[in-house]
Structure 1
Amino acid sequence: MARAEQHSTIPHAPDRPAPDATPNRWRVIVGAGVGNALEWYDWTVYAIFAPFFASQFFHEDNPASALLSTLAVFAVGFLMRPLGGLFFGWLADRRGRRSAMVTAMIITAVGSLLIGVSPTYPAVGVLASVLLVLARLGQGFGLGGEIGGSHVYLAEMAPRRRRGLWCSSMYIAITCGVLAATLLAAVLTTALGKQAMTAWGWRLPFLLGAVLGFYAIFLRRGLQETDAYVKDKQDTARTSVLRGVWSNRRAAWKVVGLTIGGTVAYYTWSVSATSYAINAKGIDAQQALWAGVAANLVFIAALPLWGALSDRWGRKPNLFLFPIALGALTFPLTGLIQDSAWQLAVSMSVALFVLGSVTSIAPAFNAELFPTRVRATGFAFPYSLAVAVFGGTAPYLQTFLASHGLGYLFTLYSIALLAISFLTAFTVKETKGIELE
């Protein structure tokens, strides 16, 4: 699709297309999305396979304690996301979006490889736990970098009148990663059984993620830089990134407010719902995982619909609709999940369909809040901070409260965060169709 909306008067290097050239849409979408798919595949594999490998990294005398420790490490990985967002945001704003995307992918692939080959607690004791923590810190750092690199890259490469649709592909890629992890878990548990999965089968998805990650590195190296970044780099004086973010601090706080409701909903319904159903509700593991596959297919179908609608009616209707609808449905959907996989499938499908209204536009809308010279840092740091504090702790908090018969408190907590996102939506201006220059 021609980028007729974005014109540039700067000279172009021989290996860059002219400003009015047609970008290879699928090359851009796949190149930006493949890293997110693989990084979220790695991330979700950890959450889903935690019940199988918890005893391999922590003392197995108390299975419940080992699982909670494993989920705590899941949350620890999120602590690195704000640092990753800050570092890779700076790298993307100073060295280019492509450099940030490639470097982030390298770090995440190495983290996945380390988990896949790590020795177990019975073999090396606490060293196994330490290696797991280090790998998760690295993955969290790299995933924080994806926001400043690939999300901004896709937003800047998209035609401004179809930016919502193009950027919805980012969460399609993310969900494909989640779906691949869930599908692989369903296949492996069916083929190998619980004993083999606990003994060695859990290593397979991490090793596969590492192999695919190194392939994605070479794919991203072939992408061109965005016109918005190149133009800004040549036409403006370079100022401190942190100073630039500070001058846009109101936009940064809006990113936080709009993110917290959606991130807890995403990790609750897309990432940890199957693990919660298996451990807290006693649903058969195989059936729960297949229910997760079905629900994520619904999510994938909903994303381009919501993205295209935002290009037609604006971003703000999506921002208002999501917290109202999901806030009203949270208690009924949570209560529906009892002891059957079909209940889990229905609840997840409805929640993820509604969630698609906000996740589809997040890369576009958050990028539209900031000027080019600080767009990656301004978007990535507050977004990663909100996800780390609220999203990263969601699986642990949900499991902990459910284990003490207080699951309703987590539901109330989720609704309160949705209310904050709803109120924040009143403070933002409509950004549909603006130029990212």
Structure 2
Amino acid sequence: MTTETEQRATPPKWRTIVSTGAGNALEWFDWNAYAVFTPFFAAQFFPTHDSTSAVLSSLAIFAVGFLMRPLGGLLFGWFGDRLGRRTAMIGSIALASGGSLLIGIAPTYESIGIGAALLLVVARLCQGLGHGGEMPAVQTYVAEMAPQGRRGIWSSLVYVSGTSGILASSALAAALTTALPPGAMSAWGWRVPFLLGGVVGLYTLVMRLRLAETQVFDRQRTAARPPLWRSFWEQRTACLRVIGLTVGSTVVFYTWVVSAPAQAISIHELDPAAALWVGAVANAVFILSLPLFGALSDRIGRRPLLLLSLVGSAVVIYPLSWLVRDQVWQFAVAMIIALLVIAPGPAIMPTVFAELFPTQMRTAGTGFPYAIATAAFGGSAPYLQTWLASGGRGDVFLGYAVVLLVISAVVAYRMPETKDITLG
């Protein structure tokens, strides 16, 4: 029989889903808004008359934000495993929202010179630290809250909510581009998503303050924990698996799910509004597919879907990239197909990571190695792709992505099946 204490410790499912998902969506909204709005604000922060150079400078700062993600994963991972998953989620959303607000109110290069770019760097570092802690905390919280045998579909919430944030920022960019007069987006329209993210972040923070801690963590709250470095050493195989699974998946995720519309605008010179609307539609299709793959993984296992995503992405990346030329329909077909092929991996990756680690270091064990791989490969992907494509060497980037996908596929093939384990 469930005790009164356990009943109070278990929040309604809707509150867990809404509070966790809303915060995760907002962090992804803030993070993606930078990539989507880069073509519009790049010239506001850098002293150049070359639009491509300005975009590359902005994308370099996009990559700089990723440098803080390993530190965020380590810091908030430690908080999550010592003080609770809820505490880590509260801290991460506060920091990331503050970074978004700073971008929204930052003066331009014309006003304060190089100081504008420095403020942009500071804001991205805050966002990187917060986002580095958000992902492992949310992944762990959702996996531990999920009923046994349904962790796959529950964990798909992480990328459903995260991609909803991406979709919201893409749709907002498309709507602003369509509604505002010429020049307004570059003058002030780009500030709207960052100001919105900062304000909504305050409400999301209040929602998370009302969340309960997971019972899985509470049962081992007082258990002895070895030093963090020793825990990483004892779980080194699991940490290496996280890195191995991430290196390929993060490159295709950031290439297609996050930065594809910006690439279509800056490299293929497609109409900005049309490219952004394509991104919104493709991400909507992606979101709808995620719970289906999550539920399927609860029936047939995690490994088959990981292999489907990783091997499938390696197979289609060349033909889909070659398809995108100067027509909007080409970009639409390529992006929708790419996202459907990628989807099985993100749908279940949160639960796969959670199932690799014991409770005492589940957040840090997931967060730190994941952030290292994402910072090294995901954060640099938009910049590297733009730089190589602008020099007529786009095929080099595609080959690089395929090699990383093959590495991830080998790791997935050699890892044990984890869907039936009990988290504890």
Tell me which interval the TM-score lies in, with the shorter structure as reference length: over 0.9
Match of 1:233 among 211, 221, 227: 221
Match of 2:104 among 112, 116, 120: 116
Give the counterpart letter for 1:341 in structure 2: V
**Structure 2 contact 70–371 (Cα < 8 Å) conserved:** yes
Q: Could you state the TM-score of these two structures normalised by the residue count of structure 1? A: 0.95
* CA drift at 1:140: 0.3
Correspondence for 1:352: 339
Correspondence for 2:419: 432
* CA drift at 1:239: 2.0
Asked if 1:17 is matched to 2:7, the reply is yes
Q: Which runs of 5+ in 1 are unaligned?
A: none
Q: Number of residues paired by the alignment? A: 424
Correspondence for 1:403: 390
SS at match of 1:233: coil
Match of 1:50 among 31, 38, 45: 38
For 2:233 and 2:14, the matched residues in 1 are separated by 35
Correspondence for 1:150: 138
The CA deviation string for residues 369-415 of structure 1, in whole angstroms up to 9 with x for no partner, is 00000000000000011000000000000000010000111111111
Match of 2:359 among 365, 372, 377: 372
* CA drift at 1:301: 1.1
Correspondence for 1:343: 330
SS at match of 1:89: helix
For 2:224 and 2:263, the matched residues in 1 are separated by 51
Correspondence for 2:369: 382
**Structure 2 contact 52–266 (Cα < 8 Å) conserved:** no
Q: Which runs of 5+ in 2 are unaligned?
A: none
* CA drift at 1:433: 2.6
Correspondence for 2:58: 70
For 1:298 and 1:193, the matched residues in 2 are separated by 30
* CA drift at 1:18: 6.5
Correspondence for 1:391: 378
**Structure 1 contact 77–139 (Cα < 8 Å) conserved:** yes
**Structure 1 contact 147–376 (Cα < 8 Å) conserved:** no
Instruction: Between 262-271 and 53-62, report the one with greater CA deviation.
Output: 53-62
* CA drift at 1:15: 6.1
Match of 1:319 among 306, 317, 321: 306
**Structure 1 contact 228–436 (Cα < 8 Å) conserved:** yes
**Structure 2 contact 310–345 (Cα < 8 Å) conserved:** no
The CA deviation string for residues 32-70 of structure 1, in whole angstroms up to 9 with x for no partner, is 221110011011110010011011111132222111100
Asked if 1:193 is matched to 2:192, the reply is no
SS at match of 1:104: helix
* CA drift at 1:245: 1.8
For 2:71 and 2:221, the matched residues in 1 are separated by 24
Match of 2:249 among 234, 253, 262: 262
Correspondence for 1:87: 75
For 1:179 and 1:423, the matched residues in 2 are separated by 31
Give the counterpart letter for 2:330 in structure 1: Q
Match of 1:100 among 68, 79, 88: 88
Correspondence for 1:303: 290
For 1:18 and 1:136, the matched residues in 2 are separated by 38
Give the counterpart letter for 1:368 in structure 2: E
* CA drift at 1:269: 0.4
Asked if 1:206 is matched to 2:228, the reply is no
**Structure 2 contact 101–198 (Cα < 8 Å) conserved:** yes
For 1:68 and 1:36, the matched residues in 2 are separated by 27
CA RMSD of aligned residues (A): 1.4
Correspondence for 2:236: 249
Correspondence for 2:206: 218
* CA drift at 1:426: 2.5
* CA drift at 1:238: 2.5
Q: Could you state the TM-score of these two structures normalised by the residue count of structure 2? A: 0.98
For 2:423 and 2:83, the matched residues in 1 are separated by 18
Match of 2:48 among 35, 56, 60: 60
* CA drift at 1:16: 4.8
**Structure 2 contact 45–108 (Cα < 8 Å) conserved:** yes
**Structure 2 contact 312–342 (Cα < 8 Å) conserved:** no
Give the counterpart letter for 2:177 in structure 1: T
Correspondence for 2:171: 183
Instruction: Between 316-325 and 138-147, report the one with greater CA deviation.
Output: 316-325
Give the counterpart letter for 2:42 in structure 1: A
SS at match of 1:193: coil
For 1:232 and 1:261, the matched residues in 2 are separated by 34
Asked if 1:40 is matched to 2:24, the reply is no
* CA drift at 1:193: 3.5
Correspondence for 1:30: 18
For 2:122 and 2:297, the matched residues in 1 are separated by 40
**Structure 2 contact 155–347 (Cα < 8 Å) conserved:** yes
Asked if 1:137 is matched to 2:125, the reply is yes
* CA drift at 1:122: 0.6
SS at match of 1:405: coil
* CA drift at 1:241: 2.3
